[in-house]
Structure 1
Amino acid sequence: MSSLADKIQKRVRAKGRGSVFVPADFLDLGSRANVDQTLSRLVDRNQLRKLARGLYDYPRVSARLGVLAPTPDKVAKALAADAALQTPGAITANQLGLTTQIVAKPIYLTDGPSRSAKIGRQTVTLKHVNRLPAAGKPAGDVYQALRWLGRDGVTADVVRQLRSQLTSSAKRDLSRIAKQAPAWMRAPLHDVAA
C-alpha cells in the first residue's frame, strides 16, 4: 500500500502541470487532517505550490520565464468544485471573436457559494447566481456573450458569426435555453440557433 503522499502525487501528475487543486479533491484518499498535512509536506518539498489558503497547484515551468501562474479558468474550476461554473460574458465574447477587449478581473458565475482567491496580482472571483442556463457548454457561452454585449451590441453580423461557429447540438441547447432569457435576447438566440 502506498502512502497518502504517493497517492496524491500520482493523482496530481495524472492531471498534468498547470493543474489546480483543493484539499477536497483528495478526501477519498484520507481524512481532512491527513490530506492537509500531506499537502503541506508536499509544498515544503517543492512538489506542489500553495497558491492561497486551501488552494494548490502543480506549477508549469518555462525555461525562459520560470514558474508560471495557473490560468484563471483552472483556479475558478478548482474553487467551484462540483458546482456549475460559467465563464463571464466578456471573456466568452472575446473567445468567440466578438470583441478584442480583455478582462483584467475575471468574475466567474456559479450556482455554488461566492468565493475569491488572490493569486499573485490577480484575483479570481466566483459570484453566486441563481440561474446558469447551459453552464459550461457552448450554448451557455453564447448566452453570456450576448447578455454582455447588450441589446444594442447584438447585430446581424454577431448573429451570423455565432451561427457559423456552433454545432447543431449547441444550437439545440441554445433553442432550449432561449425560454429562460430576457425578452430582448430571445429573438437573437433563436436566430443564432436557426
Structure 2
Amino acid sequence: MEMSLKQKVAQKIKRFPKGYIFFPGDFPGVDYVALKIILSRLVKDGEIVRLGNGIYLNPKRDPEIGILYPGMDEVAKAIARRDQVEIKPSGEQTINNVGLSTQVPINTVYITNGTSKTINIGKNKIVFKGKANKKLKYGTGKIGSIITAIESIGPKSITDKESNLLLSLLDAEPIDKVKKAAVKAPKWINNLILQHLKNTA
C-alpha cells in the first residue's frame, strides 16, 4: 500500500537526528501549501516543534524535563545553513557571551554576509545584520568573534581586564590562524594580540 504524503514527510523527519532543526526547503518536490498543512498537523500531534515561522525541530526528549530546546546560537546556525550565508556573533554579543557585560541582551545579534533580517523565535529575536564581507574579514569562527568584540569596545574604552579576558580566549586557537586574522585587524588590535602571544609563548 502506497504511503500518504503525510506519512512520507513524517518518515523523512524521523530520519533526521534528534534535536535537528529543519525547514520546508528540506522537502524538495513537495507542494509547499500541502507541506505546511502536514507540518502544522505534526506540530499539533506533538511529533515536531515549531520554533518560529517556517522553522521546525525534530525534538529530543529528556525523561525528566521533556523537550530539549536548542539555544539561539544553534537556531542561528541552522538558518545560516538554510540561507547558505556566513554569520558570526556581533562584537556586543561576544562581549555578553564571555560575561563582560552585565546587561541581559534583548536580542541575539549576528553579523552576516547575507541580508539583514529579524527572526522571531518564541519570545526571543535573532537579528542578522547584513554587512557584506567587511565585518567578516576576520573570519566567522571564534578568532573572528573575539577580534570583533575587541574592536567594538574600542582602543580608548577597553580595560586591561577586558583585554586580558578576551585575548586569553585565543590561547586554545592555532597561533598561525590567530596571526593571520590579526594582520587584518586595526593596528592597535594587532599589537595587542602580538604582545599577548609573546607573553604567553
What TM bracket, shorter-length normalisation? 0.7 to 0.9
Contact residue 113 and residue 130 of structure 2 kept, 8 A:
yes
Q: Deviations over 1:13-70 (max 9, x none)?
A: x1x33x432222443xx44636545433422322112233211223566788776764
The amino acid across from 1:80 in the alignment is A
Q: Deviations over 1:152-182 (max 9, x none)?
A: 2334444433443324644432321223323
Contact residue 72 and residue 106 of structure 1 kept, 8 A:
yes
The equivalent of 1:75 in structure 2 is 75
- CA distance, structure 1, for counterparts of residue 71 and residue 61 of structure 2: 13
Q: 1:68 to 1:4 in 2, by over 3 A?
A: closer
Q: 1:64 to 1:101 in 2, by over 3 A?
A: farther
- CA distance, structure 2, for counterparts of residue 66 and residue 8 of structure 1: 19
- CA distance, structure 2, for counterparts of residue 71 and residue 51 of structure 1: 11
The equivalent of 2:190 in structure 1 is 186
The amino acid across from 2:13 in the alignment is I
Q: Deviations over 1:122-173 (max 9, x none)?
A: 2211111122134442201211211222222334444433443324644432
Q: How do 1:125-144 and structure 2 match up within 5 A?
A: 125-131=127-133, 132-144=136-148
Name the count of aligned residue pairs.
Answer: 188
- CA distance, structure 2, for counterparts of residue 180 and residue 159 of structure 1: 18
Q: Structure 2: give runs of 5+ residues left out of the alignment.
A: none
SS in 2 for 1:123: strand
The amino acid across from 2:95 in the alignment is A
User: What TM-score do you get using the length of structure 1 for normalisation?
Assistant: 0.76
The amino acid across from 1:79 in the alignment is I
The amino acid across from 1:46 in the alignment is G
Q: Deviations over 1:56-91 (max 9, x none)?
A: 223566788776764221221222222111012222
Contact residue 48 and residue 56 of structure 2 kept, 8 A:
yes
- CA distance, structure 2, for counterparts of residue 115 and residue 59 of structure 1: 26
- Deviates most, 79-88 or 174-183: 174-183
- CA distance, structure 1, for counterparts of residue 43 and residue 121 of structure 2: 16
| Identity among equivalent pairs (%) | 28
Contact residue 107 and residue 125 of structure 2 kept, 8 A:
yes
- CA distance, structure 2, for counterparts of residue 147 and residue 59 of structure 1: 38
* TM-fit CA distance, 1:108: 1.0
Contact residue 48 and residue 58 of structure 1 kept, 8 A:
yes
The equivalent of 1:175 in structure 2 is 179
Choose the corresponding residue for 1:117, options 116, 119, 128. 119
Q: 1:8 to 1:63 in 2, by over 3 A?
A: closer
- CA distance, structure 1, for counterparts of residue 189 and residue 173 of structure 2: 20
The amino acid across from 1:118 in the alignment is N
- CA distance, structure 2, for counterparts of residue 141 and residue 192 of structure 1: 17
- CA distance, structure 1, for counterparts of residue 63 and residue 92 of structure 2: 32
Contact residue 86 and residue 140 of structure 2 kept, 8 A:
yes
